[in-house]
Amino acid sequence: MKQLLPLFLLFVTFSSAFPADQREENEENIQLAQAYLNQFYSIDIEVSHLSQSNNRSLTDSKLREMQAFFGLAATGKLDSNTLEIMKTPRCGVPDVGQYGYTLPGWRKRKLTYRIMNYTPDMPQADVDEAIQKALEVWSEVTPLMFTKVYKGVADIMIAFRTRVHGWCPRHFDGPLGVLGHAFPPGPGLGGDTHFDEDENWTTKNATTGFNLFLVAAHEFGHSLGLSHSNDAKALMFPNYVTLDPGKYPLSQDDISGIQSIYGGLPTAPVITKGTNVPHACDPGLTFDAITTLRREVMFFKGRHLWRIYYDIADVEFESVASFWPSLPADLQAAYENPKDTILVFKDENFWMVRGYAVLPGHPKPIHTLGFPRRVKRIDAAVCDRDTRKTYFFVGIWCWRYDETTQTMDRGYPRAVIKQFPGIGLRVDAAFQHKGLFYFFRGSKQLEYDLKAKNVTRVLRTNSWFRCNEPLNSSFDIEGKVHSGGEEILYHLSLILFTLVFFIC
Q: Residue 329 in contact with residue 317, Cβ under 8 Å?
A: no
Q: Do residue 122 and residue 237 come from a single domain?
A: yes
Quote the Cα angle for 177-178-184, to 5°. Answer: 170
pLDDT of the residue at 199: 94
Q: Do residue 311 and residue 432 come from a single domain?
A: yes
* Mean of pLDDT values over 38-54: 50
Q: Do residue 234 and residue 304 come from a single domain?
A: no
Burial environment of residue 267 by CB neighbours within 10 A (0 to 12, 13 to 18, 19 or more): exposed
d(CA 222, CA 235): 11
Q: Do residue 347 and residue 199 come from a single domain?
A: no
Q: Per the annotation, where are the binding residues?
A: 91, 121, 155, 165, 173-174, 181, 190, 192, 194, 196, 199, 218, 222, 228, 236, 288, 290, 334, 381, 428
d(CA 159, CA 170): 13
What average pLDDT does the structure give for the chain? 80
Q: Do residue 184 and residue 306 come from a single domain?
A: no
Q: Per the annotation, where are the binding residues for Ca(2+)?
A: 121, 155, 173-174, 190, 192, 196, 199, 288, 290, 334, 381, 428
Q: Do residue 324 and residue 393 come from a single domain?
A: yes
The CATH number of whichever domain residue 440 belongs to comes to 2.110.10.10
Residue where a domain stops, chosen among 460, 478, 498: 460
> Which residues form the catalytic set?
219
Q: Do residue 159 and residue 295 come from a single domain?
A: no
Q: How many domains does the chain have?
A: 2
pLDDT of the residue at 217: 95
Within a domain: 49:
no
Within a domain: 123:
yes
Is the pLDDT score of 19 beyond 80? no
Within a domain: 12:
no
| Range from 12-26, 97-111, 371-385, 409-423 carrying the lowest mean pLDDT | 12-26
pLDDT of the residue at 98: 42
Q: Do residue 250 and residue 386 come from a single domain?
A: no
Q: Do residue 317 and residue 453 come from a single domain?
A: yes
Q: Do residue 258 and residue 149 come from a single domain?
A: yes
Q: Per the annotation, where are the binding residues for Zn(2+)?
A: 91, 165, 181, 194, 218, 222, 228, 236
Q: Which domain holds residue 361?
A: 289-460
Within a domain: 207:
yes
End-to-end CA distance of the chain: 31
pLDDT of the residue at 18: 53
* Mean of pLDDT values over 464-482: 48
pLDDT of the residue at 107: 85
Q: Do residue 374 and residue 444 come from a single domain?
A: yes
The CATH number of whichever domain residue 230 belongs to comes to 3.40.390.10
* Mean of pLDDT values over 471-494: 41
pLDDT of the residue at 23: 72
d(CA 360, CA 29): 56
Is the pLDDT score of 213 beyond 80? yes
Q: Do residue 341 and residue 304 come from a single domain?
A: yes
Within a domain: 224:
yes
